[in-house]
Amino acid sequence: MANSAPSQQPSALPSAADERPRLNLSLSPELDRLLASVADLAGTTKTSIAAQLITQGLPELLERAQGLRKAARELDQQVRRK
């Protein structure tokens, strides 16, 4: 029996959008307006502004996460010694 659905053949070269993971965010209306204003002033997209902010903030977030992990390990060791 023949399949009536259209065939899904992968393209030889994926587009740039297909190669990059996507992230969906839900923003408050106020934050969305602020982000839109900044993007308009910068002459770019909200997505570009958000990506820049995430990129700039990741080193600090990573440092904080590592500090929390270290503190949790130390606390766990103290509890086990008692």
Write down the H helix ranges in 25-45.
Answer: 29-42
Rg (CA), the chain: 23
Contact of 35 with 50, CB cutoff 8 Å: yes
Please state, as a whole number, how many other Cβ atoms lie within 10 Å of the Cβ of residue 10.
7
**Mean pLDDT score, 18-44:** 94
- Other Cβ atoms less than 10 A from the Cβ of 15: the count is 8
pLDDT value of position 15:
62
- State the pLDDT at residue 81: 87
How far is 52 from 32, CA to CA, in rounded Å?
16
Give per-residue pLDDT as tens, 35-50: 999 999 999 999 999 9
Mean pLDDT of the chain: 85
